[in-house]
């Protein structure tokens, strides 16, 4: 079914204080959000960990995302709780929120720079190793407004003058930087409408992909067919040897997010991987480059991570979350602006527009 995009709703969010005639009240406990990112190695297992926790007095609770290589390359989400008191952190699985039939604990010392050093025990995964993590600062941003798009957005990119939205309705939408509708673009692949789960722009063409699977004597290998295109159609295509979860262009060469290898892979016009950089975000999804840093989204926590060209996360952004159906729907960056999409219902995507301070 074809949908013609005629009406757009752009809502600017304002925050105002509310007065009260009530007398003074006793303030409640102050909560603080803390984000650590770290790793562990030992016994042939290497892992990445992110901790998104809220501390209220000595109690602390939140989400832990962990990736184990080579046993489990895909990230997993664990709900944790514990205490942070007198420079000591203790975390365990929070069975009050989810029943766990196994155990996991982290015990670490917290220094004055909020660096963690300790141990992680995860018997089910065969992990009993030293653990280290560093605190990530939160990036200061201003929410400029939101845009409600009447479609399921899969990916987005800024091409220097406008934003392309790749939709599940099998067409691309182009909008202005502040959300004004420009047009609807159809791209055909072998006669069928085609859109991509990842997008980037190399200054001339857009790059997207088709997932491919090769079955051979050595087993099954998942790859990606990289497709270069513009509003006039497909220019050419070639293959890379992994399934991409994000594409970015650094001004010189394109990069692919390889989640299973937990790395950023640079490639050339033949599909040859020319460079790899490990990324220490355990569950990255989508990829953009702003001229100095990569940006990615946490699959589980929906937080935005700013990542250096060495793959090291340097800060996070805490974005608003939809209570109905939060699901990542793309990321675009340009000159201090970020557009971040969340699918909020069937054929409804909300795009948040931020200014980085």
Provide the pLDDT confidence category of residue 28 given band limits of 50, 70 and 90.
low
**Residue 138: how many CB atoms within 10 A of its CB?**
13
What sign results for the dihedral spanned by CA atoms 231, 235, 239, 240? Answer: negative
Averaged pLDDT score across all residues of the chain: 87
CATH number of 141-356: 2.120.10.30
Residue 101, pLDDT score: 92
Residue 262, pLDDT score: 85
Q: Rounded mean pLDDT of 54-76?
A: 85
Residue 13, pLDDT score: 34
Residue 11, pLDDT score: 38
**SS3 sequence, 290-347?**
CCCCEEEEECCCCCEEEECCCCCEEEEECCCCCCCCCCEEEEEEECCEEEEEEEEECC
Residue 42, pLDDT score: 65
Structure tokens at 304: 């935005």
pLDDT in tens, 123-147: 888 788 899 999 999 988 899 999 9
Q: What are phi and psi of 125, to 5 degrees?
A: -95, 0
Question: 120 and 40 in contact (C-beta within 8 Å)?
Answer: yes
What sign results for the dihedral spanned by CA atoms 203, 204, 208, 210? Answer: negative
pLDDT in tens, 86-107: 999 999 999 999 999 999 999 9
pLDDT in tens, 305-340: 999 999 999 999 988 776 556 678 899 999 889 999
- 276, pLDDT greater than 90: yes
Residue 4, pLDDT score: 45
- Which CATH entry fits the domain spanning 31-135: 3.30.2420.10, 1.10.1510.10, 3.30.70.360, 2.40.128.120? 2.40.128.120
Residue 336, pLDDT score: 87
pLDDT in tens, 182-218: 999 999 999 999 999 999 999 999 999 999 988 878 7
Domain ranges of the chain: 31-135, 141-356
């Amino acid at each position: 079914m074809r949908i013609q995009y005629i009406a757009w709703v752009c809502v600017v969010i304002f925050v105002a204080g509310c007065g009260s005639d009530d007398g003074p009240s006793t303030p409640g406990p102050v909560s603080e959000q803390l984000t650590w990112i770290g790793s562990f190695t030992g016994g042939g297992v290497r892992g990445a960990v992110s901790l998104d926790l809220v501390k209220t007095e000595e109690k602390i609770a939140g989400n832990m995302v962990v990736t184990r290589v080579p046993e489990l390359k895909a990230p997993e989400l664990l709900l944790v709780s514990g205490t942070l008191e007198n420079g000591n952190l203790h975390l365990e699985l929070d069975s009050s929120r989810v029943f766990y039939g196994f155990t996991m604990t982290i015990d670490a010392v917290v220094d004055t720079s909020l660096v963690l050093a300790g141990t992680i025990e995860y018997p089910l995964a065969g992990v009993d190793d030293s653990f280290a993590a560093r605190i990530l600062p939160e990036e200061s941003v201003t929410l400029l407004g939101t845009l409600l798009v009447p479609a399921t957005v899969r990916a987005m990119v800024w091409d220097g003058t406008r934003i392309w939205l790749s939709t599940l309705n099998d067409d691309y939408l182009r909008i202005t930087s502040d959300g004004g509708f420009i047009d609807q673009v159809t791209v055909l692949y072998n006669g069928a409408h085609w859109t991509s789960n990842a997008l980037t722009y190399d200054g001339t063409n857009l790059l997207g992909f088709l997932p491919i699977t090769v079955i051979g004597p050595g087993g099954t290998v998942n790859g990606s067919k990289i497709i270069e295109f513009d509003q006039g159609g497909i220019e050419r295509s070639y293959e890379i040897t992994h399934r991409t979860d994000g594409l970015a262009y650094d001004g010189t060469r394109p990069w692919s997010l390889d989640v299973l290898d937990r790395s950023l892979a640079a490639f050339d016009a033949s599909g040859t991987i020319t460079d790899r950089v490990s990324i220490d975000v355990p569950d990255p999804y989508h990829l953009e480059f702003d001229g100095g840093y990569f940006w990615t989204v946490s699959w589980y926590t929906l937080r935005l991570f700013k990542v250096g060209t060495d793959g090291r996360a340097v800060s996070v952004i805490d974005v608003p979350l939809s209570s109905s159906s939060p699901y990542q729907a793309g990321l675009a960056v340009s000159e201090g602006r970020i557009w971040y999409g969340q699918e909020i219902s069937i054929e409804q995507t909300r795009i948040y527009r931020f200014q980085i301070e």
